[in-house]
């Protein structure tokens, strides 16, 4: 799931990747909103909120939304640089290692919160925005943009385009069906993850982040180990 890149991948691997990581992304996004009233995967909403605050003259409030956008972009840039570094050196496990790093960050956040260490709401959503940007970049790069785990607006648009291709007569129908299925799965997993995250947070409170970090590590570590055993030739 986190070893094969681009054309090496098939639809089944992409679906596993989309289902697993979109579910976790949706859960983190929902819990971040419940705790801090701010979305960490919804950059469209954050840009709109920034513009609204600026229009009202609330410069100080607008800055927080701009920071979240910058952290999301920074996470994506960090992931891209990390992946490029690994690809240039033939490190087959580089994508899995990036998701493992995300898992460590979320796990550490969960342990700090569960230990009652004081973390401001801004710091919480800032960390989550950073890891969401990282995750979205990793899935985009490994799948050559077929899978984007936090890009809900884009997925909804792609679903609309795919439905039109399926409904309208022509040869594009067969090619559109697998893409449509992938986008529907990704969007559904994100939504179900949000529901599951909210419910889990109600039961286990901030230990949710510890659980989410462990899930990310469970997804990533097999790829890390497999990549170490079978390095990619340069």
Model pLDDT for residues 56-72, shown as the tens digit of each residue: 888 888 898 999 999 99
* Helical segments of the chain, H only: 11-36, 43-55, 59-88, 94-114, 121-142, 152-167, 172-204, 207-229
Read off the tokens for 15: 């679906």
| pLDDT at site 1 | 81
| pLDDT at site 234 | 46
Low pLDDT (below 50) residues in the chain: 233-234
| pLDDT at site 184 | 93
| Domain 6-229 part of CATH 1.20.1250 | yes
What is the rounded distance in angstroms from the CA atom of residue 217 to the CA atom of residue 154? 27
Contact 182, 146 (CB under 8 A): yes
- Residue 37 DSSP code: S
Side-chain half-sphere exposure of 9, counting CA atoms within 13 A: 23
Q: What is the pTM of this model?
A: 0.91
């Amino acid at each position: 799931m986190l070893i094969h890149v681009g054309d090496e991948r098939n639809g089944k691997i992409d679906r596993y990747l989309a289902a697993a990581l979109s579910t976790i992304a949706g859960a983190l996004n929902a819990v971040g909103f419940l705790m801090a009233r701010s979305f960490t995967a919804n950059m469209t909403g954050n840009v709109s909120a920034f513009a609204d605050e600026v229009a009202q003259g609330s410069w100080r409030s607008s800055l927080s939304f701009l920071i979240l956008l910058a952290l999301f972009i920074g996470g994506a840039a960090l992931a891209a640089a990390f992946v490029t570094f690994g690809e240039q050196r033939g490190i087959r496990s580089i994508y899995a290692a990036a998701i493992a790093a995300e898992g460590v960050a979320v796990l550490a956040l969960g342990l700090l919160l569960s230990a009652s260490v004081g973390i401001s709401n801004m710091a919480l959503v800032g960390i989550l925005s950073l890891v969401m940007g990282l995750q979205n970049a990793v899935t985009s790069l490994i799948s050559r943009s077929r899978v984007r785990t936090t890009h809900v607006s884009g997925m909804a648009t792609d679903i609309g385009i795919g439905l039109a291709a399926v409904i309208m007569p022509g040869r594009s129908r067969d090619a559109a069906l697998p893409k449509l299925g992938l986008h529907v799965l990704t969007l559904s997993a994100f939504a179900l993850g949000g529901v599951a995250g909210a419910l889990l947070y109600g039961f286990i409170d901030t230990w949710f982040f510890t659980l989410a970090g462990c899930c990310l590590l469970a997804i990533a570590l097999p790829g890390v180990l497999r990549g170490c055993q079978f390095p990619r030739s340069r």
